[in-house]
Homo-oligomer: A and B are copies of this chain.
Amino acid sequence: MGIVLGPTQYGKAECRLVRIIRGAQRHEIRDLNVSTALRGDFAAAHISGDQSRVLPTDTQKNTVYAFSKVHGVGEPEEFGLLLGRHFVNSIESVDGARITIEEFGWDRIDGHDHSFVHRGQEVRTAVVTVAGHDAWVVSGLADLVVLKSTGSEFAGFLVDEYTTLPETHDRVLATALTVQWRYSRLDVDWAPAYDDVRRLLLDAFAGTHSLALQQTLYAMGSAVLAARAEIAEIRLVAPNKHHFAVDLTPFGLDNPGEVFHAADRPYGLIEATVSRDDAPDPGPAWT
């Protein structure tokens, strides 16, 4: 029996990069949270403290900022590929890299050239994994909060001795979506693809008469796969943000789906994957 070092990775997390593109008159803004993680032959750093193969996390941060100047950031998927390939190609001890990016949206204030208002809590995400000569891109969004005030049921479920939930044919359905989709190619026009997936998700949420959040998630995922051939797989994580109809009968009032308490915890949590049956192997795209 011996004790051995298993998988490791290290990097600089949450580099908060704001990149201004200064046109003659009109500025553009990209607002990113960039995390790098390198994989490779770092056993000596762990076992004997020998740092000679370790590119400092401070250097990784510098690289993020310098690359944003030289190359711009473009779409987060592009910037992730650029950074990941740089580390793998230029540092001998590095054989893999994972670049994780969050992008925060800004809108112009009334069309102004250089004044912006933050769009909201929703976040666009990209996770780029480079291993040797290969690369994988997983795009996504987080904290997209949606609600249906009707058109949602939950009935016909399994009943055991601990079941007290009544069936319902009209409830509020609300969730804060985290969705990630894996591309099978890298020659994608990332920005319109993102916009389209977001629209498809919202349309499927709105357009599906829901018999369960599970069903809604599958409808959302399959709508994306049906429309976007370059996407191999989509994963959805959806807390069921319970809205409980308040019992107003003690006050002589009925409550036909009008007054709800929005609860914090506990919440249902539904996770689902929808994929193509001929999807290419994900390799290290997710892990």
Q: What 1/0 mask marks residues of chain A from 1 to 18 whose CB sits below 8 Å from any chain B CB?
A: 111111111111111111
Given contacts A31-B262, A62-B251, contact A10 B269 (CB under 8 A): yes
Q: Does A112 contact B (CB under 8 A)?
A: yes
Q: Determine the residue in chain B with the shortest Cβ distance to A108.
A: B206
Q: Does A85 contact B (CB under 8 A)?
A: no
Q: Does A188 contact B (CB under 8 A)?
A: no
Q: A271 to chain B: which residues have CB within 8 Å?
A: 8-10, 37
Asked if A164 contacts B58 (CB within 8 A), the reply is yes
Q: Determine the residue in chain B with the shortest Cβ distance to A13.
A: B269
Q: A118 to chain B: which residues have CB within 8 Å?
A: 120-122, 144-147
Interface residues of A in 21-60 (CB under 8 A from B): 21-22, 27, 29, 31, 35, 37, 42, 45-59
Asked if B115 contacts A266 (CB within 8 A), the reply is no
Interface residues of A in 41-97 (CB under 8 A from B): 42, 45-59, 61-63, 65-66, 68-70, 90-91, 93
Q: What 1/0 mask marks residues of chain A from 142 to 166 whose CB sits below 8 Å from any chain B CB?
A: 0011111111001111111111110
Q: Does A285 contact B (CB under 8 A)?
A: no
Q: Does A278 contact B (CB under 8 A)?
A: yes
Q: Does A119 contact B (CB under 8 A)?
A: yes
Smallest beta-carbon distance A128→chain B, Å? 16
Asked if B3 contacts A225 (CB within 8 A), the reply is yes
Rounded to whole angstroms, the CA-CA distance of A10 and B243 in the bound complex is: 18
Asked if B212 contacts A49 (CB within 8 A), the reply is yes
Q: Determine the residue in chain B with the shortest Cβ distance to A256.
A: B22
Q: What 1/0 mask marks residues of chain A from 230 to 262 whose CB sits below 8 Å from any chain B CB?
A: 000101000110010010101101011111111
Which of B12, B22, B116 makes the CB contact (< 8 A) with A268? Answer: B12
Q: Does A180 contact B (CB under 8 A)?
A: no
Q: Determine the residue in chain B with the shortest Cβ distance to A147.
A: B116
Asked if B10 contacts A146 (CB within 8 A), the reply is no
Which of B66, B157, B215 makes the CB contact (< 8 A) with A46? Answer: B215
Q: List 25 A-B contacts (CB under 8 A).
A: A4-B277, A5-B272, A10-B271, A13-B239, A13-B265, A16-B262, A16-B264, A16-B266, A17-B261, A18-B172, A21-B258, A29-B147, A37-B271, A50-B211, A61-B266, A62-B162, A65-B246, A68-B259, A70-B253, A90-B160, A110-B202, A117-B147, A118-B120, A118-B145, A121-B121
